[in-house]
Amino acid sequence: MSQRSGARTEGAGGLTGLPSTRGAAVGATAAVIPLFGLVPSLSASDSPLVTVLVAAFALALFAASQVTISWSYHSARLDDRFRLALLVPLAALSVALPLWLGKDWTILLTYLAATCAVAVPPKLTLPALATSVSLAAFVAEHVDGADTTSLVVMTAAVGLSMTTYRRILDLNAELLRTRRELARAAVTEERLRFARDMHDTLGHDLLQLTLRTEVTRRLHRAGGMDVEAELQQIEGMGRQCLDRVREAVTGYRRLSLPAVIEEARPTLDDAGVALTVDAATDQLPQEAETALSWVVREALTNVVRHAQATHCRVTLSTEGGRAVLEVLDDGKGPVRRPLSGPGGNGLTGLTERVTALGGSLRTSAAPGGGFRLLAAVPLTDSVVSRGSVTHSLTEGTT
């Protein structure tokens, strides 16, 4: 675990990670308070005053080092090198004081084992624990009255407990970071979804408005037309565009394939493109129909804007447990055809929609010239078993 990655406690109701810096410092300070009981016992043993003062100073240095190491780990403000630097005098005092002052001071070795668990990088935790146990065995062998077995077992037990505690803290911090990353990813995905919907929706509706306005302008110049009726139709398109935006903002993104086709017919008619449809959606899952409806809308928009076609055909069928949509036109083909929107985001957004359902989308030149778009979306077994969806919904020309 990176030592910079320790998470701090957030405000009320927020996510919590490692204990707070203040709580860690208070807990570590409370843990070392019992050590200062060693000083009165040393004074009671008729030790010289200088010895008592030096021992008290050394003990204070030991406690300060341990509290600082614990604080730096939980706050993630200081790196491994700083903690390792503090661990050196801590280890020296853990060995020197028991050898100098007797078996009562061997308890420092258990504190050393506990501190090693958070002072060293995770990959060095077990080697550090083994070193602490070895030092405990060495000190017990050289201090009169010390029980080697008890000291070694206690040192190992405390070290393992703190190692487990650190592991729990690391996993908790990792979980918190993962949750935050997932939250950020969800926000990013929603932004992309909204941008895609805005492009697909406004691109289509604004194109219809533009074409209707151009037609109205040409007819007005030619004279002999009802401008009021045309303006009312343009106004209706503008209101429909506003409704689309509201639907996208509120998340109502389900589309109906028949509705999309019927909406596109007037625009295709104005552009001089005859439309033939061989499709039905009665047995399509709602998610599949919505995705394919976006595909049809974008494809027909591109036919109007770029294809220079005179005829377009939309076909929907089932093949091998998939709904297969094909859009063919007899226009100029895929050579340098720009995609809808700035930077060509139209087909990119459609690919994202289809692949999100486990499908695929391909474009190519149509047989005999023109442009071909093929989208396939998987169906559930229950949908496939009910039969084909290839009966005609609407068939004819405009």
pLDDT tens for 188-241 read 776 776 677 676 667 767 777 777 787 777 777 777 666 777 777 777 777 777
> What SS3 state is found at 16?
coil
Residue 315's H or E segment, with its range, is: strand 311-319
- Give the percent of the chain with pLDDT over 70: 74
- 109 token code pair: 């070795």
Q: In this structure, how many other beta carbons lie within 10 angstroms of the beta carbon of residue 330?
A: 20
List Cβ neighbours of 109 (8 Å cut-off, separation of 6 or more). Answer: 94, 95, 98, 132, 135, 136, 139, 151, 155
- Whole-angstrom distance, CA of residue 135 vs CA of residue 113: 10
Residue 395 has pLDDT above 50, yes or no: no
List Cβ neighbours of 106 (8 Å cut-off, separation of 6 or more). Answer: 98, 136, 139, 140, 143, 146, 151
Residue 136 has pLDDT above 80, yes or no: yes
254 versus 135: the higher-pLDDT residue is 135
- Band (pLDDT 50/70/90 cuts) for residue 347 is confident
pTM, two decimals, is 0.45
- Whole-angstrom distance, CA of residue 29 vs CA of residue 11: 24
Residue 393 has pLDDT above 60, yes or no: no
- Whole-angstrom distance, CA of residue 318 vs CA of residue 392: 13
- Give the percent of the chain with pLDDT over 90: 6
Q: What's residue 143's pLDDT?
A: 86
pLDDT tens for 264-291 read 888 888 788 899 998 766 678 888 888 8
pLDDT tens for 289-344 read 888 888 888 888 888 888 888 999 999 988 778 889 999 999 887 755 444 443 34
Q: What is the largest CA-CA distance in the chain?
A: 122
Q: What's residue 373's pLDDT?
A: 92
Q: In this structure, how many other beta carbons lie within 10 angstroms of the beta carbon of residue 364?
A: 11
Q: What's residue 24's pLDDT?
A: 64
- 355 token code pair: 């692949």
Q: What's residue 327's pLDDT?
A: 92
Q: Are 334 and 358 in contact (CB under 8 A)?
A: no
Residue 93 has pLDDT above 60, yes or no: yes
Q: Could you tell me how far CA 54 lies from the centroid of its own chain? A: 55
Q: Decide the pairing of beta strands 311-319 and 274-278.
A: parallel
